Amino acid sequence: MITHGFQDMWNPDLLYYNALENRIYHHKWSGLSFAHEIEESDDPINNMNPIYERMYNRYRARAERFWYTLSHADEFLFVRNGFADRASVIDLINKISAKSQGKPFRILLFSLQSPDEYRNLPNVIHHNLDFNPDQMYEDEQYWMRNTEIMRDILEGLKISSKNLFWCPPNPPKRGLSRVGF
């Protein structure tokens, strides 16, 4: 997704709804799913258009903030939650390197895996943790515990509100395309 500027991330032709899981999946990027896009008032079996419109607005805005941050921050911390094999992390390092404009970056990876998987990879910080977004959505106590864990991790990396780059909620547009619904 980074290589292609998030192009097609919200393309309706590449998304499909799984009614059993009440989740939207992506055909092109099999590891990509959208768990919280379906709202109670939606009818995803008969009309995905309102969902596609919401996704377009949400994810286009996130992509714009990502590119804006890349062009304005001095250093990056890329956070990834979920299983990733060594080859995939090396691929991610290469892709971020190609887009980071020579700026330093680190990858903070959360996965229930042995740290040996990432041994000696430059700028990769692995924590044998799982931040389950579905559980955070459903369980406020779980969310709060994980918030504290994340705060401790960020403080350990010397990241605080004093040195964190704050991207504006609506940065100037970079020209991301809209796919029709």
Is 180 a residue whose pLDDT tops 50? no
CA–CA gap between residue 158 and residue 89 (Å, rounded): 23
Express each pLDDT in 33-50 by its tens digit. 887 888 999 999 999 999
Mean predicted confidence (pLDDT) in 110-133: 93
From the list 100, 162, 91, 157, the residue with the least C-alpha distance to 127 is 157
Predicted local distance difference test score (pLDDT) of residue 162: 83
Question: What are the sequence ranges of the domains in the chain?
Answer: 1-73
Calculate Rg over the CA atoms of the chain: 18
Q: DSSP per residue over 81-132, as a string?
A: ES---HHHHHHHHHHHHHHTTT--EEEEEE-SS-GGGGTT-TTEEEES----
Burial call 30-65: b when 16+ CB within 10 Å, e when fewer: eeeebeebbeeebebeeebeebbebbbeebbeebbb
Binned at pLDDT 50, 70 and 90, residue 176 comes out as low
Express each pLDDT in 122-134 by its tens digit. 999 999 998 888 8
Predicted local distance difference test score (pLDDT) of residue 175: 54
End-to-end CA distance of the chain: 20
From the list 121, 99, 95, 98, the residue with the least C-alpha distance to 108 is 121
Residues 9/32, Cβ–Cβ less than 8 Å: yes
Express each pLDDT in 55-104 by its tens digit. 999 899 889 988 898 888 899 899 998 889 999 999 999 999 999 889 99
Q: How far is CA 149 from the centre of its chain?
A: 19
CA–CA gap between residue 46 and residue 7 (Å, rounded): 26
